């Protein structure tokens, strides 16, 4: 399937090889339906299983689903066959920023633009509880318009990777860009470590060479540990002061991103609104990353016991993004025409599944089960084709579940009618709360108080 011109999963035509590493190859490809150019990272499943890189790949999938920002390389979808995993990603036509630096230092305005975009992307990552941990020019790509795209989240850490002391403990990254506390293996704040790496990148953009460089690795580490570097004469005084605060060997006194964004040199020509504009493409479909590594022929003729259904485990940041207070869908959809609804339940997964089976039977819908995902499908064509409803169960804790119900095809009004008149009443004894109900109750209460 990896020959030029071959079609992958009946959806993408593979083109030239863009690059390759020990476990993966990256190809240029074209979406057959839209004609859009994409990059497809092809990972050899057997190789990553053999060397124990499964968790790293899973982390990369989880992280790339969390961080969607105009200056972060976008993950469109993940597919898998028996032997391969395919990451379908945004294609960065401009190549690596490293190639520009290799030709020499950048002009101040160009360096500042890339630095502004880098800080915007890193700030967004941190707001989602994600720390990159391997920021360097080779992981900074450019699109066809010359905009920065942060890539390669293989080493990134989610906030739940912290130990009880609240610090990360994995030593990773590229030596010349790594913060001293990471090298010292004493535990570190991922956000502060990323800020150090951003400082090294800013220096490299403006100087064309590294601030901490020595042919002797131990001597380089000594310089990093002491924050011992010298700025070239052409660096503006504001940049010198900013770098001294970013490349502070003490993480406790190192500058924060909020303070970097207040810096007068940084703010010159910075459009904070454009940095917040999200990419227009749809969110990738929720994905149980464990299924990507499922054994061959994992589907069997017999149904597994409901208690052992494979559920998607939510991390803190998925929960935040799903919680009512952070539900931004009202900005884009009419509240009466949403195609999805969510509820929480304190019942076991088996009870929730049993209840949903009862609903399907009562409504005469065909039911398909795939672990924690249930598909309820109509038997006849509606106004806009056959109605299909997905109900996915997420495990927040063993005794607390979140269920997302959404229309995957068919007529929205027909779906809304079934949801309101049939599903909600039938599920009321297992539902702890429907998302949005609390807000509605508060609004009703306010209206009653105003009228009384």
pLDDT tens profile 89-110: 889 888 888 888 888 899 999 9
Residue 87 pLDDT exceeds 70 = yes
Residue 74: which of 56, 58, 87 has the closest Cα? 87
Q: For 73-88, what is the mean pLDDT? A: 84
Predicted confidence at residue 229, as pLDDT, reads: 95
pLDDT over threshold 90, residue 237: yes
Q: List Cα–Cα distances, 342 to 285, 304, 423, 424, 432, in angstroms.
A: 16, 25, 12, 11, 11
Q: Is the pLDDT of residue 416 over 70?
A: yes
Strands 373-382 and 385-397: antiparallel
The whole-chain average pLDDT of the chain stands at 75
Position with higher pLDDT, 354 vs 274: 354
Q: Higher model confidence: residue 22 or residue 214?
A: 214
Q: Are 196 and 179 in contact (CB under 8 A)?
A: yes
DSSP-derived 3-state class of residue 62: helix
Give yes or no: residues 178 and 249 share one domain.
yes
User: 113-131 pLDDT, tens per residue?
Assistant: 999 999 999 998 888 777 7
Assign 168 to helix, strand or coil.
strand
Is residue 286 domain-resident? no
Q: Is 152 a residue of the active site? A: no
27 is a domain residue: yes
Q: Please say if the pLDDT value at position 53 is more than 90.
A: no
The DSSP letter of residue 86 is E
Residues 314 and 234 occupy one common structural domain: no
Q: How many Å apart are CA 452 and CA 440, to the nearest integer?
A: 18
| Pair 150, 59 in one domain | no
User: What share of the chain in percent tops pLDDT 90?
Assistant: 23
Query: Tell me, what CATH number does 17's domain have?
Result: 3.30.200.20
Q: Tens digits of per-residue pLDDT, 380-392? A: 777 778 889 988 8
Backbone angles phi, psi at 45, to 5 degrees: -60, -45
Q: What is the pLDDT of residue 230?
A: 94
**pLDDT (average), residues 8-31:** 85
SS3 content of the chain, % helix, strand, coil (to 5): 40, 25, 40
- The distance from CA 202 to its chain's CA centroid, rounded to whole angstroms, is 25
| Residue 203 scores a pLDDT above 90 | yes
Whether residues 85 and 132 share a domain: the answer is no
Q: Considering 44, 55, 134, 194, which one is annotated as catalytic?
A: 134
Q: Are residues 80 and 114 in the same domain?
A: no
CA dist., res. 23 & res. 58, Å (int): 14
Given a cut of 50, is residue 365 above it in pLDDT? yes
CB-based burial of residue 256 (10 Å sphere; 0-12 exposed, 13-18 middle, 19+ buried)? middle
Sheet holding 7-8, edge to edge: 7-8, 12-20, 24-31, 37-44, 84-90, 75-80
Are residue 85 and residue 101 in the same domain, yes or no?
no
Please determine, for residue 286, whether its predicted confidence score (pLDDT) is greater than 60.
Answer: no
- pLDDT value of residue 337: 46
Q: Which domain holds residue 25?
A: 7-90
Q: 2 lies in a domain?
A: no
- Going by pLDDT thresholds of 50, 70 and 90, the confidence category of residue 187 is low
- Asked if residue 277 is part of any domain, the answer here is no
Residue 363 has pLDDT above 60, yes or no: yes
User: Is the residue at 294 inside a domain?
Assistant: no
Half-sphere exposure of 403 (CA within 13 A, CB side): 29
Task: Please tell me the predicted confidence (pLDDT) of residue 299.
Answer: 27
Q: For residues 449 and 452, what is the distance between their CA atoms, to the nearest angstrom?
A: 5
Least confident range of 31-35, 65-69, 353-357: 65-69
Q: What is the pLDDT of residue 200?
A: 95
User: Averaging pLDDT over each range in 33-47, 132-146, 265-279, 310-324, which range is the top one?
Assistant: 33-47
Query: Does one domain contain both 128 and 228?
Result: yes
pLDDT at 321: 38
Q: Which CATH number fits the domain that encloses residue 129?
A: 1.10.510.10
pLDDT for res 450: 54
In a domain, 287, yes or no: no
> 90 near 149, Cβ under 8 Å?
yes
Q: Is pLDDT at 69 greater than 70 in this prediction?
A: yes
In this predicted structure, what is the pLDDT of residue 180?
A: 86
Whether residue 274 is predicted with pLDDT greater than 60 in this model: the reply is: no
Distance CA 350, CA 296 (A): 26
159 pLDDT more than 70: no
Are 239 and 211 found together in one domain?
A: yes
Task: Look at residue 384 in the predicted model and tell me its pLDDT.
Answer: 76
Label residue 249 by pLDDT band (50, 70, 90). very high
Query: Which residue, 37, 67, 75, 71, is CA-closest to 281?
Result: 75
Query: Does the residue 290 lie in any domain?
Result: no
> Within this chain, do residues 99 and 245 fall inside the same structural domain, yes or no?
yes
Confidence at residue 77, expressed as pLDDT on a 0 to 100 scale: 83
How high is the pLDDT of residue 329?
A: 34
Predicted local distance difference test score (pLDDT) of residue 323: 40
Q: How far apart are CA 159 and CA 191, in angstroms?
A: 10
- Regarding whether 304 and 223 lie in a shared domain, the answer is no
The reply to whether 212 and 82 lie within a common domain is no
- Please say which residue of 90, 125, 147 terminates a domain: 90
Q: Which residues contact 220 (CB under 8 A, 6 or more apart)?
A: 175, 176, 212, 213, 214
Indicate the pTM of the whole model: 0.57
Residue stretches of the annotated binding site for ATP:
41
Question: Does the pLDDT value for residue 181 go beyond 90?
Answer: no
Give me the number of domains the chain comprises.
Answer: 3
CATH number of residue 379's parent domain: 3.30.310.80
Residue 211: pLDDT band with limits 50, 70, 90 = very high
Residue 250 is predicted with a pLDDT of 93
Q: What is the pLDDT of residue 326?
A: 33
Query: Do residues 163 and 57 both lie within one domain?
Result: no
Confirm whether 279 is domain-assigned. no
Tell me: the pLDDT tens digits for 328-337? 333 333 344 4
């Amino acid at each position: 399937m990896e020959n030029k011109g071959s079609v992958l999963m009946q959806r993408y035509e593979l083109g030239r090889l863009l690059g390759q590493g020990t476990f993966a190859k990256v190809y240029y490809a074209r979406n057959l339906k839209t004609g859009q150019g994409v990059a497809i990272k092809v990972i050899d499943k057997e190789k990553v299983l053999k060397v124990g890189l499964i968790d790293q790949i899973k982390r990369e999938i989880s992280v790339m689903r969390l961080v969607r920002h105009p200056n972060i390389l976008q993950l469109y979808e993940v597919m898998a066959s028996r032997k391969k995993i395919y990451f379908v990603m945004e294609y960065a036509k401009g190549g690596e920023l490293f190639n520009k630096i290799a030709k020499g230092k950048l002009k101040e305005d160009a360096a500042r633009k890339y630095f502004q975009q880098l800080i915007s992307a890193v700030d967004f990552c941190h707001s989602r509880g994600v720390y990159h941990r391997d920021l360097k020019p080779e992981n900074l790509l450019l699109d066809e318009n010359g905009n920065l795209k942060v890539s390669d989240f293989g080493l990134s850490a989610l906030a739940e990777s912290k130990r009880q002391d609240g610090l990360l403990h994995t030593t990773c990254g590229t030596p010349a860009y790594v913060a001293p506390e990471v090298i010292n293996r004493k535990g570190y704040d991922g956000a502060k470590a990323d800020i150090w790496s951003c400082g090294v990148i800013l220096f490299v953009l403006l100087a064309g060479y590294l601030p901490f460089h020595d042919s002797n690795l131990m001597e380089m580490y000594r310089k990093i540990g002491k924050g011992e570097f010298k700025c070239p004469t052409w660096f503006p005084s504001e940049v010198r002061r900013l770098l001294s605060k970013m490349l502070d060997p003490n993480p406790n006194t190192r500058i924060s991103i909020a303070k970097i964004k207040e810096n007068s040199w940084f703010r010159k020509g910075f459009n904070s609104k454009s940095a917040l504009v999200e990419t227009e493409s749809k969110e990738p479909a929720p994905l149980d990353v464990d299924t990507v590594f499922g054994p061959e022929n994992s589907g069997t003729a017999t149904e597994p016991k409901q208690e052992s259904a494979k559920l998607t485990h939510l991390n803190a940041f998925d929960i935040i993004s799903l919680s009512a207070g952070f539900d931004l869908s009202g900005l884009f959809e009419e509240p009466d025409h949403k195609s999805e609804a969510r509820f929480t339940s304190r019942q076991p997964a088996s009870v929730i599944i049993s209840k949903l089976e009862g609903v399907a039977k009562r409504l005469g819908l065909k039911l398909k089960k795939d672990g924690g995902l249930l598909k309820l499908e109509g038997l006849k064509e509606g106004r806009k084709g056959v109605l299909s409803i997905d109900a996915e169960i997420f495990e927040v804790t063993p005794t607390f579940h979140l269920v997302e119900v959404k229309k995957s095809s068919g007529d929205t009004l027909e779906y809304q009618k079934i949801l309101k008149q049939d599903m909600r009443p039938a599920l009321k004894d297992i539902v702890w709360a429907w998302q949005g109900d609390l807000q509605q109750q508060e609004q009703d209460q306010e209206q009653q108080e105003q009228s009384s």
